[in-house]
Amino acid sequence: MLALVKALHLLALVFGSAASLGNIYLALAAGPHDLPAPGFTNALRKLYRFTALFAILVLWATGLVLMFGEYGWWVPSRAFDIKIAFAILLTAIIFWLNLRATTWARTGGPPPYVKYLHWTGTFSLLMVVTLAVFAFN
Ligand code: HEM
């Protein structure tokens, strides 16, 4: 049973990383050479935003089940402590982007700092995965 939960944990990671890297690729593709396709780009942004939200909720749900099911109240590992710190940062970024997106859509697009949030979120995701391997190997 816990193997199935772990499979869900890793599948959510697959979806989350698609959303995270998708936003980075959009940021890299933007610029003076970019083709004007705002409707298409906004549709992609929305898909990435919802995918990231869905993925992080599944990651927390399955992660907590795995932790309680296999280790008790906490995993005694420094790598796990830092993994959860980065997971919290990533969750805060995803919640903030989902919370503010509709307002930004009405008021002329996301503020410039949003691209730094995407980079920070992707960096956090890479750290979480690396630290998970250190914590559980
Ligand atoms: C961005 C969020 C997260 C990502 C990307 C992530 C990623 C991963 C990965 C890649 C593994 C496999 C590591 C290995 O077996 O070598 C793993 C395992 C695990 N994760 Fe997460 N995780 C996330 C959030 C969480 C949270 C919030 C918790 C708990 C509060 C959690 C608890 C666990 C546990 C207990 C395992 C070990 C499962 C086992 O060995 O059977 N994870 N995670």
**Burial class, 43, CB count within 10 angstroms (exposed 0-12 / middle 13-18 / buried 19+):** exposed
State if residue 60 touches ligand 1 by the CB under 6 angstroms criterion.
Answer: yes
77-82-83 Cα angle (round to 5): 90
State if residue 105 touches ligand 1 by the CB under 6 angstroms criterion.
Answer: no
In this structure, are residues 85 and 54 in contact, taking their beta carbons and an 8 Å threshold?
A: no
In this structure, are residues 66 and 10 in contact, taking their beta carbons and an 8 Å threshold?
A: no
State if residue 86 touches ligand 1 by the CB under 6 angstroms criterion.
Answer: no
pLDDT at 67: 98
Question: What are phi and psi for residue 55, nearest 5 degrees?
Answer: -65, -45
Could you list the beta-strand ranges (E) of the chain: none
* Ligand 1 midpoint to CA 22 (Å): 22
pTM of the model: 0.93
* Ligand 1 midpoint to CA 100 (Å): 28
pLDDT in single tens digits along all 137 residues of the chain? 899 999 999 999 999 999 999 999 998 887 766 566 778 888 999 999 999 999 999 999 999 999 999 999 999 999 999 999 999 999 999 999 999 999 998 898 889 999 999 999 999 999 999 999 999 98
What is the rounded CA–CA span in Å between residue 37 and residue 20?
A: 20
pLDDT at 39: 84
pLDDT at 37: 75
Atom of ligand 1 lying closest to residue 86 CA: 1
pLDDT at 109: 82
State if residue 87 touches ligand 1 by the CB under 6 angstroms criterion.
Answer: yes
pLDDT at 74: 98
* Ligand 1 midpoint to CA 91 (Å): 14
Q: Where are the domains of the chain?
A: 2-136
